[in-house]
């Protein structure tokens, strides 16, 4: 599956032009300070929204209520679904003009108790599949599986929860797409 390109934001502009689409993915990198990364990804997201809607940014408000996925309100009453994720020095965000969206980025790193975490959160089939991955490639495979689950949970508006078959069935309704992110990271976009 080909990775979806990310429009990287740097120096107050995007490195790539916008695609004519209902889903836009933007990112920032190189920011180790979480507060700065959070503000910068929101600035990039607002710029992408303004561009996609052909509106001045002043007509759009980004909102994030506790326990609820972030969203944008346009002054004409439209509500646009958003998703944001941070890990390390990479932040990514997505907006969907006509549906729900989820996104997750994860740094590839060895997780000492990966098998227990995979069994508890990713399910027995995924844990078994990861056990079959050669040790040198397992960290990336685990990160990819975790990122896919997180993105799908966000797309469905759900909090992180331990695996169960019913939840797995609901998450399977979300299409998942890998994102083109820097080496050492994996990221997933999920669409309803």
Element holding 10 (H helix, E strand) = strand 7-10
Model confidence pLDDT, tens digit, residues 21-53 = 889 999 999 998 999 999 999 999 999 999 999
- C-alpha to C-alpha distances, 113 to 102, 139, 164, nearest whole angstrom: 26, 11, 20
Model confidence pLDDT, tens digit, residues 63-109 = 988 878 899 999 999 999 999 999 999 999 999 998 999 999 999 99
Q: What is the mean pLDDT of the chain?
A: 93
Task: Reply yes or no on whether the pLDDT at 61 is more than 90.
Answer: yes
Whether the full predicted model's pTM is greater than 0.75, yes or no, is: yes
Domains and CATH numbers, the chain: 7-191 (3.90.470.20)
Residues 151, 156, 159, 162, CA torsion sign: negative
Say what the pLDDT of residue 136 is.
93
């Amino acid at each position: 599956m080909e990775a979806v390109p990310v429009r990287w934001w740097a120096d107050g502009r995007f490195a790539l032009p916008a695609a004519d689409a209902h889903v836009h993915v933007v990112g920032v990198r190189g920011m180790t300070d979480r507060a700065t990364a959070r503000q910068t990804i929101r600035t990039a997201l607002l710029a992408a929204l303004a561009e996609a809607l052909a509106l001045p940014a002043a007509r759009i408000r980004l909102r994030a209520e506790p326990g609820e996925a972030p969203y944008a309100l346009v002054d004409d009453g439209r509500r646009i679904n958003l998703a944001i994720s941070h890990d390390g020095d990479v932040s990514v965000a997505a907006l969907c003009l006509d549906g729900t969206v989820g996104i997750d980025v994860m740094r590839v790193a060895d997780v000492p108790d990966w098998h227990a975490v995979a069994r508890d959160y990713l399910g027995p089939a995924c844990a078994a599949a990861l056990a079959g991955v050669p040790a040198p490639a397992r960290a990336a495979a685990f990160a990819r599986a975790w990122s896919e689950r997180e993105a799908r949970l966000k797309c469905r508006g759900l909090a992180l929860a331990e695996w169960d078959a019913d939840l797995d069935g609901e998450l399977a309704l979300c299409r998942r797409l890998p994102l083109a992110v820097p080496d050492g990271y994996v990221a997933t976009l999920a669409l309803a």
